[in-house]
Amino acid sequence: MNKKIGVKILGTGSYFPKKVLTNTDLEKMVDTSDEWIRTRTGIKERRISEKNETTSDLAYLASLEALKSSNISPEQIDLILVATITPDMFFPSTACFLQKKLGLNFVPVFDLSAACSGFIYGIATARAFIESGLYKTVLLVGAESLSKITDWTDRNTCVLFGDGAGAMLLSASEENDNILSTYLGADGAYSELLFIPGGGSANPATVETVNQKLHTMKMQGKDVFKAAVPKMALAARKALELSGKKLENINLFIPHQANMRIIEAVAKKLDISMDRVFVNIHKTGNISSATTITALDEAIKTGRVKSGDLVEMVAFGGGFTWGASVVRI
């Protein structure tokens, strides 16, 4: 019988745009306060891309970092996946633009749309491709320019989001199996609680859709909050079960960074003390599919996790979608 193909995490990288938007800056734009944003969300500042800076630009710079930390040459990549809800264009995929920037003509590429759970969906997809033997080395990126789909006059949403990208290189391995489990879920019944109504086939772009601001994010925050906590706890438990590990074996939990109160409520539900939970929302805001991977990259770079440690990543987002993955670093 053939030996099972393992999946090794070769390295990670991230990139954030230079421009910082603080809560104090936002006070000058909408009727809000630093105090409200900090106490209701935990966010102090977020990064904002330049007008001419695209999602694939952020993805490219994060990918270069991941390549550096992986110590492989770009030519070894044989599949590129980009999780994003803020593609450069409707089509071609952002993965196509990234491929061009990396100079990897002919490598197959595609985008994945699962909102804030995008990177977890991406890990499951990359793992399945590698384990099937179809591809050996996958570049997986979570990249977002949420500032470009934000209504900067809507205080309910504009204080929450930011831009950034994270990347991971995964490869087939006989010795390592770093992805211990992936668990995915979704419920389309709630699709209109967090969405962009305009621009697609339901409401193609017209002068009216622009005037009605249908091309920016709409969210029923309270309802999303209420669903996020139990679903993230459920996903964390399921992925743990599938990994065969116990809660006490996990060195670090990396939850999606949407709201500090959601993170604390999930930790409480799982009975995990906050010193085992990674938080960087104060400086990033919510960057959707890029949150878990940029957080993991920071945890590795700052020594918060070391080689051999077990990490559980958990996410929840528009769709609704949710998912979790237990990985060994």
Q: Rank residues 243 and 321 by Cβ distance to ligand UT7 and give the closer one.
A: 321
Assess whether the previous peptide bond of 87 is cis (omega < 30° from 0): no
Nearer to ligand UT7, 11 or 285 (CB): 285
Q: Is 215 a catalytic residue?
A: no
Q: Nearest approach, Cβ of 287 to ligand UT7 (angstroms)? A: 9
Question: What ranges in the chain are assigned the alpha helix state H?
Answer: 23-27, 34-41, 55-70, 94-102, 118-132, 155-158, 207-211, 221-243, 260-270, 281-284, 291-301
Residue 26 CB, nearest approach to ligand UT7 (Å):
8
Tell the smallest beta-carbon distance from residue 249 to ligand UT7 (Å). 27
Inter-helix orientation angle 260-270/34-41, to 10°: 20
Burial class of residue 307 in the structure, from the number of CB atoms within 10 Å of its CB (0-12 exposed, 13-18 middle, 19+ buried):
exposed
Residues near ligand UT7 (CB under 6 A): 32, 36-37, 40-41, 116, 155-156, 159, 221-222, 224-225, 228, 258-259, 262, 286, 317
Residues 198/325, Cβ–Cβ less than 8 Å: no
In angstroms, the CA 320 to CA 188 distance is 6
Token pair recorded at residue 302? 């700052």
Q: How far is the CB of 2 from ligand UT7 (least distance, A)?
A: 40
Tell me the DSSP string of 5-57.
Answer: PEEEEEEEEEE--SEEEEHHHHHTTSS--HHHHHHHH---EEEE--TT--HHH
Instruction: Determine whether 71 is an active site residue.
Output: no
Query: Using CA atoms, how far apart are residues 105 and 87, in angstroms rounded to an integer?
Result: 19
Bridge partners (DSSP) of residue 324 are 183, 314
For residue 155, give both structure tokens: 């205080």
Alpha-carbon distance of 258 to 225, in angstroms, equals 9
Cβ-closest position to ligand UT7: 221
Minimum CB separation from ligand UT7 for residue 135, in Å?
A: 29
Q: How many CB atoms lie within 10 A of CB 190?
A: 17
**Is 256 a known active-site residue?**
yes
Compute the least distance from the CB of residue 272 to ligand UT7, in Å.
19
| Residue number, 87 or 162, with CB nearest to ligand UT7 | 162
For 306, list phi and psi in degrees, rounded to 5. Answer: -125, 170
Given 23, 96, 158, 256, the catalytic residue: 256
Per annotation, catalytic residue among 96, 116, 158, 178: 116
We find the least distance from the C-beta atom of residue 169 to ligand UT7, in angstroms, to be 25
Q: Which residues of 249-273 are buried (b: 16+ CB within 10 A; e: fewer)?
A: ebbbbbbbbbbbebbbbbbeebebe
Choice between 242 and 260, CB closer to ligand UT7 = 260
Active site residues: 116, 256, 286
